[in-house]
Structure 1
Amino acid sequence: MSERGTGSRADGPVLGTPDSFRERPGRGGRVGRSLFFAVVAVIVVAAMGGWGYVMMSAKGNPEVLTEVIAFEVEGPGSLTVTFQAHKPADREAECRLRATDTEHVEVGTRSVTLPRGQSDVRLTERVQTSARATSGDVQYCYLVQ
Structure 2
Amino acid sequence: MVRVVQAPARTEQDATAALLADRYGRRTAGGGRRLRARILIAALAVAGIAVLAWIAVDMFAPSVESRDVGFHVVDSESVRVTFDVTKPAERSAVCTLEALSTGYGQVGLLQVEIGPQVADTVRITAEVATSEEATTGLVRACTFTD
- Match of 1:144? 145
What is the TM-score with the length of structure 1 in the denominator?
0.59
1:18-50 CA distance string (max 9 Å, x none): xxxxxx752331x32232223223333444555
Where in structure 2 are there 5+ consecutive unaligned residues? 1-24
- Match of 1:85? 85
Cα RMSD (Å) of the superposition?
3.3
Q: Give the letter for the 2:69 counterpart.
A: I
Please state if 1:94 is matched with 2:90. no
1:53-90 CA distance string (max 9 Å, x none): 6678789x743222111123334432221111123333
Distance 1:54 1:90, change over 3 A: closer
Cα deviation for residue 127 of structure 1 reads 0.9
- Match of 1:127? 128
1:76-125 CA distance string (max 9 Å, x none): 43222111112333333322212233454433211112233422321111
Distance across 2 between alignment mates of 1:131 and 1:52: 48
- Match of 1:63? 63
What is the TM-score with the length of structure 2 in the denominator?
0.59
Percent identical pairs in the alignment equals 30
Where in structure 1 are there 5+ consecutive unaligned residues? 1-23
Q: Is the 8 A contact 1:114 1:121 kept in 2?
A: no
- Match of 1:42? 42
Aligned length: 120
Q: Is the 8 A contact 2:69 2:82 kept in 1?
A: yes
